[in-house]
Chains A and B, each alone.
Chain A
């Protein structure tokens, strides 16, 4: 029995690691840009599909493909920022408008992926030895997922807390107008934010593409998981969204021991719904002051 428990927990941690990569970028963009960048999922999908294109279709060097795929994601995210969000920001669009625009952008990119690569499920073959840890099985790729995720999240933490850029980003997150008075250019900060967030999404996309399969809707799926994790932890707190992501990963994987596996996604939706209704500020969030 305990090895099943160990396996479920391990699966939960692996899922949580992926969600954390998505959620942290999403949360970063939300806390600084003050809107829900739903299309973050599309950025992830771009990373996955470009990885497939470079490594499988073009047969380029595996590691080079990874780098290029992540760069492609960063470009995609930045492109959205510059062509969609920036002009809307100039018009003082509300966060609701930005959310709708983001959903549109996501739909557009998804449809483009469908057109360009087709609806069939694809995969990226790798040699993937399996290990046994505490009675559970884990593959090399899964080890990489956990490892890469930990390293990148640690780097993100370091960036936010210790670097000048991080301080500037937190200043803009706190109060955009005041940040300007000390010479910070919010648009430049938004650009950096999108690059960093999209980098994380791209890495997540590449990892998922390698570990699992690619399908056109993967962006939407992971976006939902990512921001559910962020909502559970705290949408405006990157560490919170990481915590929330691991919680989601664990609940999902332990949950399907009791429920038919088709309901796995439903668990995420229900958690999202419940948190939005009863604790929208998340587990770590601060309740907003009344009127």
Chain B
């Protein structure tokens, strides 16, 4: 019985992280924006949704609020960072994540700082229902990103990824495309964050940390950039890979860092030996 619950728990996490990775893929893999702020959007979605719900807003409105807040943050972040290239963009977006973490820790009147927000309303009483909800949303997200990737907008984003100058000379407003891509990607990250908050029922500033960032990027690159299928496969691989450690009986204080080490190592190996990942069309550059 406990094992079924464990599987359901894993399934829910896979669903949530799939939404995160497939949206990250749109910004990084399709549009070429090395966005390390995704964790920041995830956190914004989680906090906004949690705070709204805890203060009485109906659950699905709260989640919508989280999605919209994250999307707006994405647009706002995209505007000044649009002209930054590669590693500078990465650094600026990473800075954004740190700033969000700092706000979460220090704006104690609203976020309760390091104490976090407990007692967040659940998505549903029964975890099986939660799994169903998250699963459906994950599938829908994948569908949406596949369609967008193949759309005119998506193809223009890919063009700007490959060669921004050429894309401009073909009449494409690359600035607008970048904003759209980041906004869309951020909104779904917010969705993932909101679902996470309403599943775990407790969040604190640690969700703005590095562990999730490495997990997301590992899943992204293992699965392959610019491939929706790669995103969910990568997520499954990354979330399942460290699980055997749990059965060997390591305490959770070991499991946490051990998982991070596995993610980091896997990412390094993939970058070294198979940068396109499993299904990627493109590699990071």
Contact = CB atoms under 8 A, between A and B. Distances in A.
A62 interface: no
Contacts of B264: 104-105, 107-108, 111
A257 interface: no
B271 A277 contact: no
A276 interface: yes
A231 B94 CA distance: 14
Interface residues of A, number: 44
A263 B36 CA distance: 22
Contacts of A111: 256-258, 260-261, 264
Nearest to B266: A104
A276 B91 contact: yes
A281 to B, nearest CB: 10
B275 interface: yes
A269 B95 CA distance: 6
B31 to A, nearest CB: 14
Interface string B208-246: 001101100110010000000000000000000000000
A87 interface: yes
Contacts of A276: 81, 84, 88, 91-92, 95
A280 B99 contact: no
A107 B210 contact: yes
Contacts of A277: 80-81, 84, 92
A119 B253 contact: yes
B263 interface: yes
Nearest to A228: B95
A110 interface: yes
Contact of B106 (A96, A97, A263): A263
A104 B106 contact: no
A44 interface: no
A266 B87 contact: no
B99 A96 contact: no
Given A107-B214, A111-B260, A96 B254 contact: no
Interface string B49-60: 000000000000
Given A104-B267, A277-B80, A95 B258 contact: no
Interface string A173-189: 00000000000000000
B105 interface: yes
B265 A269 contact: no
A140 to B, nearest CB: 32
Contacts of A266: 99, 102-103, 106
Interface of B: 34, 36, 80-81, 84, 86-88, 90-92, 95-96, 98-99, 102-103, 105-106, 113, 165, 210-211, 213-214, 217-218, 221, 253-254, 256-258, 260-261, 263-265, 267-268, 271-272, 275, 283-285
B284 A100 contact: yes
Interface in A239-268: 260, 262-263, 265-266
Closest 8 A/B residue pairs (Cβ): A111-B257, A108-B264, A266-B102, A111-B260, A276-B92, A94-B285, A96-B86, A104-B264
Contact of A112 (B210, B211, B261): B261
Contacts of B92: 272-273, 276-277
A104 B268 contact: yes
Interface in A85-111: 87-88, 91, 93-97, 99-101, 103-108, 110-111
Given A107-B263, A269-B98, A97 B275 contact: yes
A27 B32 CA distance: 26
Contacts of B268: 84, 101, 104-105, 108
B257 A112 contact: yes
A266 B88 CA distance: 19
A233 B267 CA distance: 32
Contacts of A84: 268, 272
A97 B277 CA distance: 14
Given A96-B87, A96-B284, A262 B105 contact: yes
